[in-house]
Amino acid sequence: MVKNPTDDYPLAESENSGSAQAPLDFSDFEATEDWVPQPAVKGRRQRSLSRVTVMDIGDEPTTVVTEFLPVEDPTGEAHLAAELKKAPKGAVPRIAGIDIARGIAIYLMIQSHTVKGLMFFRDMPDWGVMPMHTLTKISSSLFVLVFGVTLGVIFLPRTLTDKWYKTRNHLWFRALVVTFWYKVLILVQTFQTRDSQVIIDMLLYRRFPDFVEILNFYSWILLVIPVLLPLWRKMPIWAGLLMTGGLVLLGQLLAAHWDFFGLVQVKAIVVEAPGNFCYGLLTRGPLALFGVFLGDLIGRADNFHIRRRQVVYFCLALGTALLVTFFSLYHQEVVKVLTDIARNRGKHPPQFFFISFSLGGSLILLGVCLLIGKKGPWILKPFELLGRESLVCFVFHICVIFIGLRWLLALKRVNRVPQVTYAQALWLTLAVTLACLGVAMLNTARKRRKRSRQIESKARRQEELAIQRSHEQKLIEELQG
């Protein structure tokens, strides 16, 4: 159970009334860990208690600070590492809204990839292109935005501790893992339809595949973000937002005035280039940093639930403003523009009409998911599970589409003629989603068993150590007697 902080530490006195503050409600978390004293960080509001949690990132539990209560000690930074050493290990608290948003992004990608992997646009009904396929284009922006929020909530608080180097190395190792799966999925996607030279070009970044472009972006941004997070943490939060805007401006200037020495592939990786399915570090990276800004707003809050509601309202307002701007600018040809978005026009490099629609929808979805959290209806539980195992589900669904459906079941388009109808493609989308849910459940169970074995092993070692110390104490007493 979560140990109430009032059991060991008195609540801070209110600055205005002098009365003790009521304990906060953390019912939105799944946790089994204790509370430890947390000093304040210089230049920010005073803090005294923080909940130290353990987030399941990959196979290793990662200790992070997520909650704060207002307090006495204004100096703080020198004691932060010492206090973090008291953190327990083994619990896995999650902010459910982030997982649900990530799971929705995964599902939208599954729908887009399954239908497009089996059919051409010309073979889809009009309603299948717009709105069905248009809505799936929200997924890429939502993925990047949620990635940034996760960085802000989980990894950013560790930048001021002596354990940051371990977290930084973990992120770099994660970049290698994502790069490995990016290369594997290139082979999975192209082994039936492309010759060996084209496949080699894709593996060597001379060309870029269209279905797994998001993994390529993650592999690069995970190399860069560990360098930016410590800098972000040392700046006022508004300065981080200015840095994000500066990177957007830098990306636009480089894309307009520099040809990168004629290296189109490098330009695609940095700022995107027409005809290349590649997210640019300076075009989509600022979106991830905007997510870090939102996560940092939540992480620096004295009252998590109040600040989360503020972030929710901000996301809903900004997302609505972007969509209102989109429909205001393009209301005379809105159907044509939405159809162009469905066909990936304006995606690489990003044009305003694509970004305003995709980012606006992403912000609204993120705001709704954060608002609902764990208290949402049961129908959102599958999305939460998909979000918990996002990399596993992404890799698996590409394998199912290109190996299972297109190769083993021979549903690949023959002579540019699809072998399935649009309705059948939607049913296959449901089947692929259910398969991904099954794999996610199996992987979650595997992690749970592994964690249980680790806890049992640690308990046995502690028991053996206690017995050994007891024997040593008895021996000392006998010698003294």
pLDDT at 304: 66
**At 431, phi and psi to the nearest 5?**
-65, -45
Residue 366 is classified by DSSP as H
pLDDT at 77: 41
The Cα 479–Cα 481 span in angstroms is 5
pLDDT at 376: 76
pLDDT tens for each residue of the chain, 481 residues long = 444 444 443 333 333 334 444 444 434 444 333 333 344 444 344 333 444 444 443 444 444 444 444 444 433 444 444 443 444 333 334 688 899 999 999 999 999 999 999 999 988 999 999 899 999 999 989 999 999 999 998 898 888 888 899 999 999 999 999 999 999 999 999 998 899 999 999 999 999 998 999 999 999 999 999 999 999 988 888 899 999 999 999 999 999 999 899 899 999 999 999 989 999 999 999 999 999 999 988 877 666 677 788 899 999 999 999 999 999 999 999 999 999 999 999 998 999 999 999 999 999 999 999 988 877 788 889 999 999 999 999 999 999 999 999 999 988 877 778 889 999 999 999 999 999 999 999 999 999 999 999 899 989 999 899 999 988 888 888 888 6
Is the alpha carbon torsion for 32, 38, 44, 45 positive or negative? positive
Residue for token pair 């005809």 = 275
pLDDT at 374: 76
Q: Residue 114: name the closest of 417, 354, 423 by CA.
A: 423
Would you give the distance in Å from CA 479 to the centre of its chain? 60
Q: Residue 397: name the closest of 455, 357, 437 by CA.
A: 437
pLDDT at 289: 95
pLDDT at 299: 76
pLDDT at 300: 74
Show the tokens assigned to 425.
């493609």
Edge-to-edge strands, sheet with 47-57:
35-37, 47-57, 60-70
pLDDT at 330: 93
Residue-level length of the chain: 481
Domains in the chain: boundaries: 5-84, 96-436
C-alpha torsion 459→460→462→467, nearest 10: 140
Question: What is Dmax (Cα atoms) for the chain?
Answer: 98
The Cα 401–Cα 399 span in angstroms is 6
